[in-house]
């Protein structure tokens, strides 16, 4: 199976839009469209519904999981072979530079995420950067299990093996279908009491508890409100449930800027505590490139007022956003 076709298909699934997928891959929209058509022809079935947003068919949903695994395995194979070849070259004096693996959950820390990555690339052009999209279940495990070196996540990971710096602090919002009664409150805002009984999407049982509490505004266990039958682990899956009227989602205010799907309305939750996004690394990691990336990111936070969180600080697993905001 051609990995280029899988890469284009997965980008469309994750972006929900052919043009955005093309921009992400630095391809033309017709090229991405042709890749998906070839894949559908090879498999003999439709993989995507050409709606707005584009959503996967049942066959497409199943293929997306396999595509992620195959592309990750291919990246790992290339890294491994290149390292072996470089080490064996006559006259080679040093081990080839290992890529810096950057994990991003959803849209990360809004505009700060690409700014930090671009700043690092300018400062360290000789170091390859690998971007990995993290799902909701990888809130801390991607770092702990050494799948990434740094990660833009929220809320603070509840794991002592992870160190996290506050990057942004924002108002909370809920995402609902435009035809729901709560959508009328998009301009004025809603309260926690208003959103308590929304049919929020479910997450897998192994999703870390801090992330589950964040999604449901602390309503977990016996105190939880209704839950949709839909399960989601990515923002794209959340928005699919929202625009089809099957589920509701929650996030930070900047979520609306990055996921403006037709049919989805974003309502501020006025009395919900503001939450932060974080740059997380493994506690005690002394890798020089990790230190450089962290330093550049925090310099951007200090220098750019629109990114600056109230009283930013460093926290370790177990602390919450309120602890660093005082």
Domain for residue 95, yes or no?
A: no
- 111 and 180 together in one domain: no
For position 233, which CATH number holds? 3.40.190.10
For position 74, which CATH number holds? 1.10.10.10
- 142 and 184 together in one domain: no
- 264 and 283 together in one domain: no
Domain for residue 274, yes or no?
A: no
Closest CA to 9 of 50, 56, 69, 79: 56
Domain count, the chain: 3
Domain for residue 273, yes or no?
A: no
Asked whether the beta carbons of 308 and 145 are under 8 A apart, the reply is no
Q: What is the pLDDT of residue 322?
A: 35
Domain for residue 93, yes or no?
A: no
- 160 and 176 together in one domain: no
Domain for residue 286, yes or no?
A: yes
The 8-class DSSP code of residue 95 comes to: P
Q: What is the pLDDT of residue 167?
A: 94
Asked whether the beta carbons of 80 and 13 are under 8 A apart, the reply is no
248, 268, 288: which is the final residue of a domain? Answer: 268
Asked whether the beta carbons of 307 and 300 are under 8 A apart, the reply is yes
Residues 6+ apart with CB under 8 A from 107: 113, 235, 254, 255, 257, 258, 259
Domain for residue 9, yes or no?
A: yes
- 159 and 284 together in one domain: yes
Domain for residue 241, yes or no?
A: yes
**CA of residue 262 relative to chain centroid, distance:** 20
- 225 and 288 together in one domain: no
Q: What is the pLDDT of residue 220?
A: 62
What are the average pLDDT values for consecutive 10-residue runs of the chain, which has 326 residues? 85 88 78 90 91 89 85 69 58 67 93 91 92 91 94 92 94 96 95 93 90 87 66 92 94 91 95 96 93 92 57 44 34
pTM check: above 0.85: no
Which residue range(s) make up the domain with 205?
172-268
- 284 and 145 together in one domain: yes
- 109 and 26 together in one domain: no
- 112 and 253 together in one domain: no
Based on DSSP, count helices (H) and strands (E) in the chain, helices before strands. 12, 13
Domain for residue 94, yes or no?
A: no
- 61 and 134 together in one domain: no
- 186 and 51 together in one domain: no
Q: What is the pLDDT of residue 309?
A: 42
- 156 and 284 together in one domain: yes
Q: What is the pLDDT of residue 293?
A: 95
Bridge partner list, 64: none
């Amino acid at each position: 199976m051609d990995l280029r076709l899988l890469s284009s298909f997965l980008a469309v699934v994750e972006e929900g839009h052919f043009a955005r997928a093309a921009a992400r891959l630095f391809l033309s929209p017709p090229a991405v469209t042709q890749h998906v058509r070839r894949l559908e022809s090879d498999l003999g079935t439709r993989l995507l519904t050409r709606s707005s947003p584009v959503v996967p068919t049942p066959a497409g949903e199943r293929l997306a999981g396999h595509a992620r695994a195959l592309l990750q395995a291919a990246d790992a194979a290339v890294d491994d072979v290149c390292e072996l070849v470089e080490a064996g070259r006559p006259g080679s004096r040093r081990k080839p530079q290992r890529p810096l693996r950057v994990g991003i959950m959803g849209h990360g820390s809004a505009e700060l995420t690409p700014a930090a990555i671009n700043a690092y690339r300018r400062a360290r052009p000789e170091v390859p950067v690998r971007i990995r999209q993290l799902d909701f279940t990888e809130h801390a495990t991607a770092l702990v299990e050494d799948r990434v070196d740094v990660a833009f996540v929220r809320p603070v990971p509840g794991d002592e093996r992870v160190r996290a710096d506050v990057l942004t602090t924002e108002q909370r919002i809920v995402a609902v279908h435009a035809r729901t009664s709560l959508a009328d409150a998009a301009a004025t805002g809603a309260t926690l009491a208003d959103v308590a009984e929304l049919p929020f999407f479910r997450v897998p049982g192994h999703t870390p508890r801090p992330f589950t509490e964040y999604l449901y505004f602390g309503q977990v266990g016996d105190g939880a409100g209704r839950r949709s039958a839909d399960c989601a682990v990515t923002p794209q899956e959340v928005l699919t449930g929202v625009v089809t009227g099957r589920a509701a989602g929650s996030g930070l205010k900047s979520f609306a800027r990055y996921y403006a799907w037709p049919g989805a309305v974003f309502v501020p939750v006025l009395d919900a505590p503001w939450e932060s996004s974080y740059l997380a690394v493994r506690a005690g990691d002394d890798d020089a490139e990790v230190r450089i990336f962290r330093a550049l990111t925090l310099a951007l936070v200090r220098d750019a007022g629109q990114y600056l969180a109230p009283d930013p600080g460093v926290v370790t697993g177990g602390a919450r956003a309120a602890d660093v905001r005082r």
